Amino acid sequence: MAKQKTSTPLRIGIVGAGIGQAHIRGYKQVPEVEIAAICDLNEERARHVAHDNELAQAQIFADHRAMLDQVELDAVSVCVPNVAHRPIAVDCLNAGKHVLCEKPLAINAREAQKIADAASKNKLKCMVAQVNRFRADSIFLKQCIQNGDLGNIYYAHTGWLRKRGIPGYGGWFTTKELSGGGPLIDIGVHLLDIAWWLCGCPQPVSVMGVTYAEFGPRGKGVGGWGTSTPEGTFNVEDLAVGLIRFANGLTINLEVSWAINNERERQWCQLFGNEGGCEWGENTVLNHEVNNIPTISKPDLPKRDPWQGEMQHFANAILNNTTPDPDATQGVTMMKMLDAIYKSAETKREVVIK
């Protein structure tokens, strides 16, 4: 087991200066941490990010192994393409650093399990960055559910339908060997996670799934971001649908697309219980009975930066020796669900999750 040292403030390293900038924003609002290093394959990009965020004290690296060797760190945020999650996270854990890994935990459940095993072996925290759990509407609805306002939740319908939102063409997002899949593993993981978490993270037992690729192979549906290489690969889906059954009787219906002929882009998560229901997202409401009268309640939610909440939670887990939410074990279960949707789509059969 690698030697572990926890300092105050916690010294954080960032690997990946893309989505890593959102992690930096969150960490800068947490008084118990300081960002000690930024690593990116493009070293100049890392320098620009440090400059733009007024992190003059942060050391800059192009290789995460050099960062681990040369800088005393307590924890690392892993913010790189999906295929690199496992090798970098395992290197950090074996070097005695706690890890906050961007979603998804890995490109499949087998790779995710290797990360979970490294965290367990080294007795370190490994948290998956599911930032939506830290939104104000998420926290409000979670409390309502824990209070019993919905009763027994038996069905959830959730999804994210982008109208024209393929993240570049021919880059790592659209290359299965690098990403693990298309919108299901990229943005579907967010909406499946919020539904699963609000429902208490029950154990999945079986999955039916279908996938389609109607836009990407024709070079259509590209959004205004990401890196495009017209001669590059598109071998992932642009629409995925999954129906997941759980041991407690819950069913989650998931729909997710990068490109579809829809009226507009939409994110949603609806939960249905035997005492009430709710909707998360742009129109957060609670449907319940008050004095036996069906009532729709719309909460007045406080302003809250979910990135700050996520990084504060990660720091608290380290400092207070508590289990982060979600931890690597939940990350593995999530990957089992995503893997099963892909396998069901490929085999055209229901897939049992062991």
Neighbours of 31 (CB within 10 A): 9
Q: Strand 239-246 and strand 251-257: pairing?
A: antiparallel
- Along the 354 residues of the chain, how does pLDDT read in single tens digits? 554 556 679 999 999 999 999 999 999 999 999 999 999 999 999 999 999 999 999 999 999 999 999 999 999 999 999 999 999 999 999 999 999 999 999 999 999 999 999 999 999 999 999 999 999 999 999 999 999 999 999 999 999 999 999 999 999 999 999 999 999 999 999 999 999 999 999 999 999 999 999 999 998 999 877 777 877 899 999 999 999 999 999 999 999 999 999 999 999 999 999 999 999 998 899 998 888 888 899 999 999 999 999 999 999 999 999 999 999 999 999 999 999 999 999 999 999 998
Q: Tell me, what's the pLDDT at 282?
A: 83
Q: Tell me, what's the pLDDT at 5?
A: 53
Q: In the CATH scheme, what architecture does the domain 134-307+335-352 have?
A: 2-Layer Sandwich (3.30)
**Centroid of chain to Cα 203:** 18
Domain limits of the chain? 10-132, 134-307+335-352
Q: Does 134-307+335-352 match 10-132 at the fold level?
A: no
Q: Tell me, what's the pLDDT at 4?
A: 55
The answer to whether residues 297 and 288 touch, using CB atoms and an 8 Å cutoff, is: yes
Does domain 10-132 correspond to CATH entry 3.40.50.720? Answer: yes
Q: Tell me, what's the pLDDT at 288?
A: 86
Q: Tell me, what's the pLDDT at 85?
A: 98
Is residue 94 helix, strand or coil? helix
Strand partners, 14: 38, 77
**Residue 106: which of 87, 124, 120 has the closest Cα?**
87
Q: Tell me, what's the pLDDT at 227?
A: 74
Q: Tell me, what's the pLDDT at 267?
A: 95
